[in-house]
């Protein structure tokens, strides 16, 4: 566990999560996806699609959606996801998702792992709602919808882009790395190996009055 115990940062009321590999166990086989779409090795898949003409990109977007849709059924919740999200929701925190996946797949995935009722559709930002991470636009969109200042927002993710996005938007960052390697320590405020660990260090309601006051809808 490498985080300040009861870090004040964890009492923030607006939590934005990455989906794949953060709320869920990773299921994407990126080598397979690249091969299926003809994306050169090492290239960013969404950047590659964005570099094509609309006519060239359309069938590849459809194929990507098809592949990711097929993954929904295989998806499992990451350890501690239900406990962490349940506690945050019960404490009145607002929960969002910022993902390079689509909003549609995210909604299905959240339902499949049993936490769909904790999220509002409009608080899920997928690749069609904002420029993809590491662009900070998605975080800014959510913060603006919530009327939240960056100092009251956290971005939680398992990958470099999540942390870069959080830094670029000026919000707090939590790196969840099950391997415990923490390759980008300068970009993360809190380091945990699982959401279960994060739930365990969440301030208790009595130590953190903010969590006893539900945020108005």
Residue placing its CB nearer to Mg ion in the complex, 82 or 158: 158
Angstrom distance (rounded) from CA 142 to CA 155: 11
Residue placing its CB nearer to Mg ion in the complex, 68 or 158: 158
CB of 55 to Mg ion, least distance (A): 30
CB of 160 to Mg ion, least distance (A): 10
Residue placing its CB nearer to Mg ion in the complex, 21 or 166: 21
Size of the site for Mg ion (CB under 5 A): 5
Interactions with Mg ion, residue window 109-138 (CB under 5 A): none
Residue placing its CB nearer to Mg ion in the complex, 20 or 68: 20
CB of 176 to Mg ion, least distance (A): 9
Residue placing its CB nearer to Mg ion in the complex, 11 or 188: 188
Interactions with Mg ion, residue window 39-98 (CB under 5 A): none
Angstrom distance (rounded) from CA 146 to CA 213: 16
CB of 185 to Mg ion, least distance (A): 18
Between 8 and 47, how does the x/- string for binding to Mg ion read (CB under 5 A)?
----------x-xx--------------------------
Interactions with Mg ion, residue window 138-197 (CB under 5 A): 158-159
* Distance spanning both ends of the chain, measured CA to CA: 34
Q: How many CB atoms lie within 10 A of CB 138?
A: 26
CB of 25 to Mg ion, least distance (A): 11
Residue placing its CB nearer to Mg ion in the complex, 112 or 210: 112
Question: What DSSP string describes the chain?
Answer: -BS-TT-GGGG-SEEEE-IIIIIB-----HHHHHHHHTPPTTS-HHHHHHHS-HHHHHHHHHHHHHHHHHHHTT--BPTTHHHHHHHHHHTT-EEEEE-SS-HHHHHHHHHHTT-GGGS-GGGEE-TTTSPPTTSTHHHHHHHHHHT--GGGEEEEESSHHHHHHHHHHT-EEEEE-TT---S-GGG-SEEES-HHHHHHHSPPGGG-GGGGSPPP-
Residue, CB closest to Mg ion: 21
CB of 205 to Mg ion, least distance (A): 29
Residues at the interface with Mg ion (CB under 5 A): 18, 20-21, 158-159
């Amino acid at each position: 566990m490498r985080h300040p115990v009861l870090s004040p940062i964890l009492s923030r009321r607006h939590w934005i999560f990455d989906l794949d590999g953060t709320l869920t166990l990773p299921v994407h086989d990126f080598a397979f996806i690249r091969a299926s779409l003809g994306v050169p090795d090492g290239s960013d898949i969404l950047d590659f699609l964005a570099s094509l003409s609309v006519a060239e990109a359309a069938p590849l977007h459809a194929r990507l959606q098809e592949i990711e849709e097929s993954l929904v059924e295989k998806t499992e919740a990451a350890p501690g996801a239900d406990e962490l999200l349940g506690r945050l929701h019960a404490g009145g925190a607002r929960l969002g998702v910022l993902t390079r996946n689509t909003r549609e797949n995210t909604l299905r995935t959240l339902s499949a792992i049993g936490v769909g009722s904790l999220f509002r559709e409009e608080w899920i930002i997928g690749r069609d709602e904002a420029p993809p991470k590491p662009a900070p636009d998605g975080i800014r969109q959510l913060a603006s919808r919530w009327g939240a200042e960056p100092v009251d927002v956290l971005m939680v993710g398992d990958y470099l882009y999540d942390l870069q996005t959080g830094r670029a938007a000026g919000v707090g960052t939590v790196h969840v790395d099950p391997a415990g390697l923490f390759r980008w320590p300068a970009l993360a405020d809190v380091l945990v190996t699982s959401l279960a660990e994060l739930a365990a260090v969440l301030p208790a309601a009595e130590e953190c009055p903010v969590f006893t006051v539900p945020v108005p809808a």
